[in-house]
Amino acid sequence: MSVRAPALVLEDVTVYYGKRRALESVSLEVGPGEIVTLLGANGSGKSTTLRAISGLVRPARGRIVYEGRDVTRWAPDAIVAAGLSHVPEGRDIFAEFTVLENLLVGGHTASRREVTERLERAWEMFPVLRERRQQPAGTLSGGEQQMLAIARALMTRPRVLLLDEPSLGLAPMLSREIFRVIQRISAAGVTVLLVEQNARRALALASRGYVLETGRVAVAGSSQALVSDPRIRAAYLGLDARAAG
Protein backbone atom coordinates (compact mmCIF):
# COMPACT_ATOMS: atom_id res chain seq x y z
CA MET A 1 0.00 0.00 0.00
CA SER A 2 1.54 3.32 -1.09
CA VAL A 3 1.87 6.24 1.34
CA ARG A 4 0.96 9.64 -0.04
CA ALA A 5 3.68 12.27 0.17
CA PRO A 6 3.01 15.33 2.32
CA ALA A 7 1.37 18.28 0.59
CA LEU A 8 3.61 20.74 2.43
CA VAL A 9 6.90 20.35 4.31
CA LEU A 10 9.06 22.88 6.14
CA GLU A 11 12.60 21.76 6.92
CA ASP A 12 14.60 23.78 9.47
CA VAL A 13 13.19 27.11 8.28
CA THR A 14 14.82 30.18 9.84
CA VAL A 15 13.57 33.71 9.11
CA TYR A 16 14.95 37.09 10.13
CA TYR A 17 13.39 40.55 10.08
CA GLY A 18 16.54 42.62 9.88
CA LYS A 19 18.66 41.34 12.76
CA ARG A 20 15.71 39.95 14.70
CA ARG A 21 15.18 36.21 14.35
CA ALA A 22 11.45 35.50 13.88
CA LEU A 23 11.69 31.75 13.19
CA GLU A 24 14.43 29.31 14.16
CA SER A 25 14.72 25.86 12.57
CA VAL A 26 10.98 25.34 12.20
CA SER A 27 10.08 21.95 10.75
CA LEU A 28 6.55 20.74 10.12
CA GLU A 29 4.49 18.87 7.57
CA VAL A 30 0.90 18.80 6.40
CA GLY A 31 -0.58 15.76 4.70
CA PRO A 32 -2.87 15.91 1.66
CA GLY A 33 -6.41 16.83 2.69
CA GLU A 34 -5.39 17.36 6.30
CA ILE A 35 -6.23 20.30 8.58
CA VAL A 36 -3.22 21.19 10.73
CA THR A 37 -3.21 24.09 13.17
CA LEU A 38 -0.43 26.37 14.40
CA LEU A 39 -0.86 27.61 17.95
CA GLY A 40 1.15 30.07 20.00
CA ALA A 41 1.14 33.43 21.72
CA ASN A 42 1.32 36.70 19.83
CA GLY A 43 4.80 37.12 18.38
CA SER A 44 5.57 33.39 18.44
CA GLY A 45 6.07 33.22 14.67
CA LYS A 46 2.77 31.82 13.42
CA SER A 47 2.07 34.51 10.82
CA THR A 48 5.72 34.57 9.77
CA THR A 49 5.50 30.84 9.08
CA LEU A 50 2.59 31.38 6.70
CA ARG A 51 4.31 34.36 5.07
CA ALA A 52 7.43 32.27 4.48
CA ILE A 53 5.37 29.49 2.87
CA SER A 54 3.60 31.90 0.53
CA GLY A 55 6.83 33.64 -0.48
CA LEU A 56 6.18 36.96 1.24
CA VAL A 57 9.34 36.62 3.35
CA ARG A 58 12.51 34.75 2.42
CA PRO A 59 14.00 32.17 4.78
CA ALA A 60 17.65 32.70 5.64
CA ARG A 61 18.02 28.92 5.99
CA GLY A 62 15.95 25.81 5.42
CA ARG A 63 13.60 24.54 2.73
CA ILE A 64 9.89 24.78 1.92
CA VAL A 65 8.62 21.89 -0.18
CA TYR A 66 5.16 22.02 -1.74
CA GLU A 67 3.88 18.88 -3.47
CA GLY A 68 7.43 17.62 -3.85
CA ARG A 69 8.83 20.88 -5.29
CA ASP A 70 11.25 23.16 -3.48
CA VAL A 71 9.44 26.53 -3.54
CA THR A 72 11.69 28.29 -1.02
CA ARG A 73 12.81 30.90 -3.56
CA TRP A 74 9.67 31.07 -5.67
CA ALA A 75 7.87 34.40 -6.16
CA PRO A 76 4.48 34.72 -4.43
CA ASP A 77 2.53 34.81 -7.69
CA ALA A 78 4.19 31.58 -8.86
CA ILE A 79 3.27 29.91 -5.57
CA VAL A 80 -0.37 30.97 -5.96
CA ALA A 81 -0.39 29.76 -9.57
CA ALA A 82 0.92 26.38 -8.36
CA GLY A 83 -2.13 25.95 -6.11
CA LEU A 84 -1.18 27.39 -2.72
CA SER A 85 -3.24 30.35 -1.49
CA HIS A 86 -2.94 32.52 1.64
CA VAL A 87 -5.69 34.39 3.51
CA PRO A 88 -3.73 36.84 5.68
CA GLU A 89 -4.61 38.19 9.09
CA GLY A 90 -6.53 41.42 8.54
CA ARG A 91 -8.05 40.04 5.29
CA ASP A 92 -6.41 42.59 2.93
CA ILE A 93 -9.47 42.96 0.74
CA PHE A 94 -9.72 45.87 -1.70
CA ALA A 95 -12.12 48.10 0.23
CA GLU A 96 -13.00 50.37 -2.70
CA PHE A 97 -13.72 47.43 -5.05
CA THR A 98 -17.09 45.73 -5.06
CA VAL A 99 -17.47 42.21 -3.74
CA LEU A 100 -17.60 40.92 -7.31
CA GLU A 101 -14.49 42.85 -8.33
CA ASN A 102 -12.56 41.41 -5.36
CA LEU A 103 -13.50 37.91 -6.45
CA LEU A 104 -12.55 38.61 -10.05
CA VAL A 105 -9.10 39.67 -8.83
CA GLY A 106 -8.76 36.22 -7.26
CA GLY A 107 -9.71 34.57 -10.55
CA HIS A 108 -7.70 36.79 -12.85
CA THR A 109 -5.60 33.93 -14.28
CA ALA A 110 -8.61 31.71 -15.06
CA SER A 111 -10.59 31.51 -18.28
CA ARG A 112 -14.00 33.16 -18.52
CA ARG A 113 -15.73 29.80 -18.20
CA GLU A 114 -13.62 28.87 -15.15
CA VAL A 115 -14.33 32.24 -13.53
CA THR A 116 -18.07 31.74 -14.00
CA GLU A 117 -17.88 28.28 -12.44
CA ARG A 118 -15.78 29.50 -9.53
CA LEU A 119 -18.09 32.43 -8.89
CA GLU A 120 -21.05 30.06 -8.70
CA ARG A 121 -19.21 27.98 -6.11
CA ALA A 122 -18.41 31.14 -4.12
CA TRP A 123 -22.04 32.25 -4.21
CA GLU A 124 -23.16 28.79 -3.11
CA MET A 125 -20.73 28.73 -0.18
CA PHE A 126 -21.34 32.37 0.80
CA PRO A 127 -24.90 33.38 -0.19
CA VAL A 128 -24.54 36.74 1.54
CA LEU A 129 -21.76 37.66 -0.88
CA ARG A 130 -24.10 37.06 -3.83
CA GLU A 131 -26.58 39.46 -2.23
CA ARG A 132 -23.84 42.06 -1.76
CA ARG A 133 -21.92 41.44 -4.98
CA GLN A 134 -22.24 45.07 -6.19
CA GLN A 135 -21.52 46.53 -2.73
CA PRO A 136 -18.11 48.09 -1.95
CA ALA A 137 -16.17 45.56 0.10
CA GLY A 138 -15.23 48.19 2.69
CA THR A 139 -18.88 48.55 3.68
CA LEU A 140 -19.25 44.87 4.63
CA SER A 141 -19.30 43.69 8.23
CA GLY A 142 -16.17 42.09 9.66
CA GLY A 143 -17.60 38.60 9.21
CA GLU A 144 -18.63 39.30 5.64
CA GLN A 145 -15.17 40.68 4.86
CA GLN A 146 -13.62 37.48 6.21
CA MET A 147 -15.94 35.42 4.03
CA LEU A 148 -14.91 37.56 1.05
CA ALA A 149 -11.20 37.07 1.81
CA ILE A 150 -11.67 33.30 1.94
CA ALA A 151 -13.84 33.29 -1.19
CA ARG A 152 -11.24 35.35 -3.07
CA ALA A 153 -8.54 32.84 -2.12
CA LEU A 154 -10.77 29.97 -3.29
CA MET A 155 -11.12 31.68 -6.69
CA THR A 156 -7.53 30.53 -7.36
CA ARG A 157 -8.65 26.88 -6.91
CA PRO A 158 -6.00 26.15 -4.25
CA ARG A 159 -4.96 22.67 -3.26
CA VAL A 160 -3.40 24.07 -0.06
CA LEU A 161 -5.00 26.97 1.82
CA LEU A 162 -3.20 28.99 4.50
CA LEU A 163 -5.60 30.70 6.93
CA ASP A 164 -4.28 33.32 9.37
CA GLU A 165 -6.63 34.07 12.29
CA PRO A 166 -9.90 33.69 10.34
CA SER A 167 -12.10 34.22 13.43
CA LEU A 168 -10.19 37.21 14.81
CA GLY A 169 -12.53 39.96 15.98
CA LEU A 170 -15.70 38.13 14.99
CA ALA A 171 -18.78 37.61 17.12
CA PRO A 172 -19.24 34.01 18.33
CA MET A 173 -22.02 33.24 15.82
CA LEU A 174 -19.93 34.46 12.88
CA SER A 175 -16.88 32.66 14.22
CA ARG A 176 -18.82 29.37 14.25
CA GLU A 177 -19.90 30.01 10.66
CA ILE A 178 -16.29 30.54 9.56
CA PHE A 179 -15.28 27.23 11.17
CA ARG A 180 -18.14 25.47 9.35
CA VAL A 181 -16.83 26.95 6.10
CA ILE A 182 -13.33 25.62 6.85
CA GLN A 183 -14.81 22.17 7.39
CA ARG A 184 -16.56 22.36 4.02
CA ILE A 185 -13.36 23.47 2.31
CA SER A 186 -11.52 20.53 3.85
CA ALA A 187 -14.30 18.12 2.89
CA ALA A 188 -13.83 19.25 -0.71
CA GLY A 189 -10.25 17.95 -0.57
CA VAL A 190 -8.33 21.16 0.13
CA THR A 191 -5.39 20.89 2.54
CA VAL A 192 -5.54 23.54 5.28
CA LEU A 193 -2.85 25.05 7.51
CA LEU A 194 -4.68 27.09 10.12
CA VAL A 195 -3.37 29.79 12.45
CA GLU A 196 -6.08 30.48 15.01
CA GLN A 197 -6.31 32.27 18.36
CA ASN A 198 -9.17 30.06 19.53
CA ALA A 199 -7.12 26.99 20.39
CA ARG A 200 -10.08 24.94 21.54
CA ARG A 201 -11.95 25.31 18.25
CA ALA A 202 -8.80 24.93 16.18
CA LEU A 203 -7.89 21.64 17.85
CA ALA A 204 -11.47 20.38 17.51
CA LEU A 205 -11.22 21.02 13.76
CA ALA A 206 -7.65 19.90 13.06
CA SER A 207 -6.15 16.42 13.09
CA ARG A 208 -2.75 17.65 14.34
CA GLY A 209 -1.11 20.77 15.68
CA TYR A 210 2.19 22.52 16.30
CA VAL A 211 2.80 24.98 19.13
CA LEU A 212 5.30 27.76 18.45
CA GLU A 213 7.17 29.59 21.19
CA THR A 214 9.55 32.45 20.33
CA GLY A 215 9.96 31.21 16.78
CA ARG A 216 10.55 27.52 17.56
CA VAL A 217 8.32 24.45 17.53
CA ALA A 218 7.89 23.72 21.24
CA VAL A 219 5.27 20.95 21.05
CA ALA A 220 3.76 18.92 18.22
CA GLY A 221 1.26 16.11 18.13
CA SER A 222 -2.26 14.96 17.41
CA SER A 223 -5.05 17.30 18.43
CA GLN A 224 -6.16 14.80 21.06
CA ALA A 225 -2.65 14.67 22.52
CA LEU A 226 -2.38 18.45 22.60
CA VAL A 227 -5.77 18.84 24.26
CA SER A 228 -4.62 16.37 26.93
CA ASP A 229 -1.24 18.06 27.46
CA PRO A 230 -1.31 20.00 30.78
CA ARG A 231 1.01 22.68 29.34
CA ILE A 232 -1.34 23.32 26.42
CA ARG A 233 -4.42 23.22 28.62
CA ALA A 234 -2.95 25.78 31.01
CA ALA A 235 -1.47 28.11 28.39
CA TYR A 236 -4.20 28.04 25.73
CA LEU A 237 -7.33 26.05 26.49
CA GLY A 238 -7.72 27.50 29.96
CA LEU A 239 -7.57 31.00 28.51
CA ASP A 240 -10.20 30.07 25.93
CA ALA A 241 -12.45 28.64 28.62
CA ARG A 242 -12.27 31.81 30.71
CA ALA A 243 -12.85 33.99 27.66
CA ALA A 244 -15.83 31.90 26.67
CA GLY A 245 -17.29 32.31 30.13
CATH number at residue 18: 3.40.50.300
Cα–Cα distance measured from residue 14 to residue 70, given in angstroms and rounded to the nearest whole number: 15
The SS3 call for residue 178 is helix
Residue 62, φ and ψ in degrees, nearest 5 = 95, 180
With beta carbons less than 8 A apart as the criterion, state whether 87 and 163 touch: yes
**Strands 216-222 vs 61-66: parallel, antiparallel or unpaired:** unpaired
- Domain check: are 180 and 244 in the same one? yes
Is residue 148 domain-shared with residue 226, that is, in the same domain? no
The whole domain housing 120 covers: 87-157
Q: Are residues 116 and 92 in the same domain?
A: yes
* Single-letter amino acid code for the residue at 21: R
Q: How far is CA 207 from CA 9, 44, 160, 183, 240, in A?
A: 16, 21, 15, 12, 19
User: Nearest to residue 76, comparing CAs of 63, 60, 58?
Assistant: 58
Are residues 107 and 62 located together in one domain of the fold? no
- Give the least confident one: 45-49, 148-152, 188-192, 230-234: 230-234
What's the rounded mean pLDDT across residues 186-207? 95
pLDDT digits (tens, 9 = 90+) for 16-30: 999 999 999 999 999
Q: How many CA atoms lie within 13 A of 71 on its CB side?
A: 26
Mean pLDDT of 106-114: 88
Is residue 99 pLDDT above 60, yes or no?
yes
Q: Give mean pLDDT, residues 185-199.
A: 95
Asked whether residue 139 falls in the same domain as residue 175, the answer is no
Q: Residues 32, 124: one domain?
A: no
